[in-house]
């Protein structure tokens, strides 16, 4: 029983400590000035915080280092070797029992320069360069994909804030209308059914207001996780959701897509790397040449001079390696490289076809969103004006309560649709950017 009591105390103690820490974090954030987050700020912060994007940056950096190593393998290498060889002698004239050794005591201290001339090495360097270029293209793909995610979350938060304002306005209008129906009922101008209908409408508006608050909270949390390395809810997004951002001409989009599409560039570089891989594999049939130059001592004493004679000297070795037979291993490597090259050709063809299809589809989506956005804006304005007129008619006894409720619902729906339409257009522009690069900015 005492053990159970201790565990209970320990649990509530840890819970209280956690609540205190959470309260301290929130209090610290509230004490800091509120951050005004622009889209450019969100994009920069997301790039630093995105694990997926940073993984593509790491892959590009690794490919760059692979290229440096492949190029370095073509250049002469310098080493300094030191060794001492102790061999059992025969006891006659300091001769040794192992004919491969020169003396009983042999000391080697030499600097060596090695250069290997191999056709496959040059092909591997070219392949590494192509792979590095493909990795940079994939990094650009990840960056553009991240833009879409940030734009969707950023403007989704702005739209959620606007929807909350719309819901608050609708709730206030519902309260005023309920008060109006109650006053008119007391004056004997309307029936009690109008009051009931107005009260039902107020309850709906209150629920919609709570849902709008929850939607804004979730949107802000999603954006905060995306752009901040530590949890931070102390920010506001810039109110540029409805800024005028024109849709570029289709010809301009096609030109940019043909010149700067990273998917095509990555596929081209992958094919280039596979072609160099075939050449490197076929180089296995060719001879390779290696050159070595040594300078230092190779003497019976570890000294520059022995008995007045200099031990310093040099030697050079040239080796030509001619492949003769390796049980078809080279032929198998060539076959593998050719299969990889053929596959990358198919992937390039697919990327080109997808680009043409996505270009037409995404541009049509952006064009449709732009056209509908103008209509949605007009509908929101008309809905607001209609509500104002119906409200005045109801006060004058010229309209029914059902017409007022219908006008309220129409106005709220049109306002919310206008916010969603603006987000849709922004996301459509961001999707176009994945094909073309940077587009127009407000």
**Bridge partner list, 299:** 107
Q: According to the model, what pLDDT value does residue 307 have? A: 85
Domain boundaries, the chain: 38-75+118-286+323-436
Lookup result for tokens 């793909």: 141
Is residue 333 a contact partner of residue 284, using CB atoms and an 8 Å limit? yes
CA-based nearest residue to 420, from 162, 243, 210, 205: 162
Q: What is the model's pLDDT at position 437?
A: 73
150 burial (CB, 10 Å; 0-12 / 13-18 / 19+) is: buried
Q: Give 10-residue mean pLDDT values along the chain (442 residues).
A: 50 51 48 83 92 94 95 93 90 83 90 92 94 94 93 95 93 90 87 90 93 95 93 86 90 86 92 95 94 93 89 94 94 96 96 93 95 94 93 87 90 94 94 76 44
Residues contacting 63, CB < 8 A, separation 6+:
128, 131, 132, 134, 135, 136
The number of beta carbons lying within 10 Å of the beta carbon of residue 186 is 10
Mention the CATH class of domain 38-75+118-286+323-436: mainly alpha
Place of tokens 């999707």: 431
């Amino acid at each position: 029983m005492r053990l159970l009591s201790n565990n209970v105390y320990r649990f509530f103690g840890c819970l209280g400590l956690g609540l205190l820490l959470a309260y301290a974090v929130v209090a610290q954030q509230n004490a800091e000035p509120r951050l005004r987050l622009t889209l450019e700020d969100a994009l920069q912060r997301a790039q630093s915080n995105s694990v997926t994007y940073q993984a593509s940056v790491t892959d590009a950096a690794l490919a760059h280092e692979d290229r440096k190593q492949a190029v370095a393998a073509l250049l002469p290498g310098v080493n300094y070797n030191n060794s001492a060889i102790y061999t059992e002698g025969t006891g006659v004239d300091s001769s040794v029992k192992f004919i491969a050794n020169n003396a009983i005591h042999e000391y080697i201290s030499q600097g060596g320069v090695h250069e290997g001339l191999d056709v496959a090495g040059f092909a591997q360097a070219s392949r590494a360069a192509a792979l590095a270029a493909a990795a940079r293209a994939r990094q650009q793909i990840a960056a553009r994909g991240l833009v879409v995610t940030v734009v969707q979350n950023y403007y989704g938060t702005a739209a959620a804030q606007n929807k909350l304002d719309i819901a608050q306005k609708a709730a206030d209008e519902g309260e005023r209308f309920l008060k109006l129906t109650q006053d008119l009922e007391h004056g004997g101008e309307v029936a009690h059914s109008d009051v009931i209908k107005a009260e039902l409408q107020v309850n709906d508006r209150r629920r919609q207001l709570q849902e709008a608050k929850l939607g804004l909270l979730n949107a802000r949390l999603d954006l905060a996780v995306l752009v901040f390395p530590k949890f931070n809810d102390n920010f506001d997004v810039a109110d540029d959701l409805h800024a005028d951002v024109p849709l570029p001409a289709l010809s301009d989009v096609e030109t940019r897509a043909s010149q700067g599409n990273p998917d095509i560039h990555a596929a081209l570089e992958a094919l280039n790397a596979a072609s160099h891989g075939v050449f490197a594999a076929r180089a296995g049939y060719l001879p390779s040449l290696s050159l070595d130059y040594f300078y230092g001592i190779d003497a019976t004493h570890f000294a520059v001079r022995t008995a007045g004679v200099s031990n310093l000297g040099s030697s050079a070795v040239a080796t030509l390696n001619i492949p003769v037979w390796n049980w078809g291993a080279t032929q198998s490597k060539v076959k593998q490289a050719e299969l990889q090259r053929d596959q990358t050709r198919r992937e390039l063809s697919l990327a080109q076809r997808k680009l043409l299809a996505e270009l037409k589809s995404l541009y049509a989506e952006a064009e449709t969103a732009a056209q509908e956005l103008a209509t949605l804006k007009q509908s929101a304005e008309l809905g607001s004006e209609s509500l104002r007129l119906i409200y005045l008619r109801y006060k004058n006894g010229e309209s029914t309560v059902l017409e007022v409720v219908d006008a309220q619902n129409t106005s709220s729906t049109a306002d919310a649709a206008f916010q969603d339409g603006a987000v849709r257009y922004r996301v459509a522009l961001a999707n176009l950017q994945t094909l073309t690069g940077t587009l127009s900015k407000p």
